[in-house]
Amino acid sequence: MPSSSSRQTSNNTLQDCDDGVLRIEAARLAFTEHCLFDGLSMTLPAHGWTCLLGRSGCGKSSLLRMIAGLPVAPDASLSVGNGAGQPLNLRVAWMAQQDLLLPWRRVIDNVSLGAAMRGERADRERAMALLEQVGLGHTARRYPQTLSGGERSRVALARTLYESAPLVLMDEPFAALDALTRLDLHALAHRLLAGRRVVMVTHDPLEALRMANQILVMRGTPARLDSLDVPSQPAPRDPATPAMSNNHARLLAMLDEVAA
């Protein structure tokens, strides 16, 4: 979805650091009778992909929404420590699992939706160039309901790229796609988001191993973050290599283990 600036409130989880990384410090999310995580911290490198995994309900998507400055739930209690850094006014682009295309807007107008929502004049030349990059220039005047699922995901990717945001947050953006389309979009997204800081929630260990520069696993109650080394090959990695198979087994074991 269109980008926004992180809100400068006590819920802001982003800290700008001199070394170019972003740090999320002492994040806490609790509901009326349940604490999902408390004292949770993570570091996001200046560029590259961080993949976030964990069992359903552990708080992955909620953490992503906190980073984006989006509401989580009416009865949620949110807090985060300020650390030593200064809050960051950072533009964020959001790509959800659902493509969220507006059916009454043509494809090219969905790509530039952020500009319309901010009351800005759409850069149609830029929107068209992005559609060409994702291989969908010929669909610019069509409506979303005429596209396949893979095509709609590529339009959503083009909309994300339109924002030129330095931080891209993706919540299972490829989960609904068939295996071959998913592999194609992995390569496309990795190429078009080169140089950006990307955080992606996924339930697919192989997807994380293929795309990530950093893998973080949420586990335990309240959840903590544990890291797993990624294969040395450059991403996007070939899923059929021995290194991927070995790391896949390790990641599955980590996901299955009940953290103390």
Please report which confidence band the pLDDT of residue 73 belongs to, taking 50, 70 and 90 as the band edges: low
Determine the CATH number of domain 4-256. 3.40.50.300
Contact yes or no for 110/144 (Cβ under 8 A): yes
Residue 156 has a pLDDT of 94
Residue predicted with more confidence, 126 or 97: 126
pLDDT at 154 over 70: yes
Which of 20, 53, 68 minimizes the C-alpha distance to 165? 68
Please report which confidence band the pLDDT of residue 83 belongs to, taking 50, 70 and 90 as the band edges: very low
The mean per-residue pLDDT over the stretch 165-193 comes to 89
- 180 in helix, strand or coil? helix
Residue 87 has a pLDDT of 46
Mean pLDDT score of the chain:
83
Residue 17 has a pLDDT of 47
Residue predicted with more confidence, 224 or 91: 224
- Within 13 Å and on the Cβ side, how many CA atoms surround 194? 7
Residue 81 has a pLDDT of 39
Q: Which two tokens stand for residue 185?
A: 């979009």
Cα gap 93→170, rounded to integer Å: 8
- 160 in helix, strand or coil? helix
Which 8-state DSSP code applies to residue 260? -
β-sheet with 4-5: strand ranges across: 4-5, 91-95, 167-171, 197-201, 48-54, 214-219, 224-228
Contact yes or no for 63/76 (Cβ under 8 A): no
The mean per-residue pLDDT over the stretch 164-181 comes to 88
Residue 80 has a pLDDT of 44
In the chain, the percentage of residues whose pLDDT exceeds 70 is 84
> Tens digits of per-residue pLDDT, 2-55?
544 333 223 344 444 444 678 887 788 887 778 888 888 888 888 899 999 998
Residue 91 has a pLDDT of 78
Rounded alpha-carbon distances, angstroms, from residue 238 to 48, 211, 231, 244: 18, 10, 10, 8
Q: Are strands 22-31 and 15-16 parallel, antiparallel or unpaired?
A: antiparallel
Of 11-15, 143-147, 162-166, the least confident: 11-15
Cα gap 47→50, rounded to integer Å: 9
> Tens digits of per-residue pLDDT, 187-245?
989 998 999 999 999 999 999 999 999 999 998 888 889 999 998 899 999 988 888 98
Q: Which two tokens stand for residue 126?
A: 């830029």
Residue 21 has a pLDDT of 72
Which of 193, 185, 217 minimizes the C-alpha distance to 99? 185
Q: What is the DSSP string of 230-252?
A: PPSSPSSPPTTSHHHHHHHHHHH
For the chain, domain boundaries: 4-256
Cα gap 17→106, rounded to integer Å: 41
- Within 13 Å and on the Cβ side, how many CA atoms surround 100? 18
